Amino acid sequence: MISKKMNDLLNDQLNFEFYSAYLYLGMAAYAASLGLNGFSGWFKFQTKEEMGHGAKFYEYIQRQGGDIVLGSVASPKQKFTSAAGLFEASLAHERKVTQRIVGLMAAAKKEADYSTESFLLWFLNEQVEEEAQLVDILQKLAIGGKTGNSLLILDGILGQRK
Ligand SMILES: [Fe+2]
Ligand SMILES: [Fe+2]
């Protein structure tokens, strides 16, 4: 059982996970347009992960007897100026997601809804991984440079993500 307020907040995050999927799908398209197919594949992988996150919210809301309300998914930013810019935008986005999850946890705690708080813990840990992964990529770009061979090497590495 979850409160109406928590139900609304969780539906909102379900929507935002699909927005994240959409954002990464746009990044995949931009990377592909530059011929960076490794990057493109990496962003498609991100898209699938975000849809998986959305599904987790869906399952949890249902298990708790809540209502699934699907709002429209906003059109994401699709204009980018460089391949490196995709990762900078991704890190900024993931930091925003982390703040959202923290906000949800605080709301759950306030209601003494420890089931939801426990459910959200997985996402909090996932955000640590997401942010660390992007910081790692950005560090590599800072070392090797954001253009030319360094970009091609990184494209090869990220394209191996399974
Ligand atoms: Fe997510
Ligand atoms: Fe994410």
Ion ligand 1 residue ranges (Cβ < 5 Å): 17, 50, 53
Q: What is the pLDDT of residue 101?
A: 98
pLDDT of residue 26: 98
**pLDDT tens per residue, the chain (162 residues)?**
999 999 999 999 999 999 999 999 999 999 999 999 999 999 999 999 999 999 999 999 999 999 999 999 999 999 999 999 999 999 999 999 999 999 999 999 999 999 999 999 999 999 999 999 999 999 999 999 888 899 999 999 999 988
Distance 110 CA to ligand 1 centre (A): 23
Kindly report, residue by residue over 66-108, the tens digit of the pLDDT: 999 999 999 999 999 999 999 999 999 999 999 999 999 999 9
Say which ligand is closest to the CA of 46: 2
Contacts of 142 (CB under 8 A, 6+ apart): none
Residue 32's alpha-carbon distances to 35, 83, 91, in angstroms, are 5, 10, 20
**Residue 26, amino acid:** G
Residue 35 DSSP symbol? T
Cα 20 to ligand 1 centre (Å): 7
3-state secondary structure of 113: coil
Expressed in angstroms and rounded, the spacing between residue 55 Cα and the centre of ligand 2 is: 13
What distance in Å separates the CA atoms of residue 119 and residue 105, rounded to the nearest whole number? 9
CATH code for position 72? 1.20.1260.10
The structural domain count of the chain equals 1
Range of the domain at 10: 4-158
Q: What pLDDT score was predicted for residue 161?
A: 86
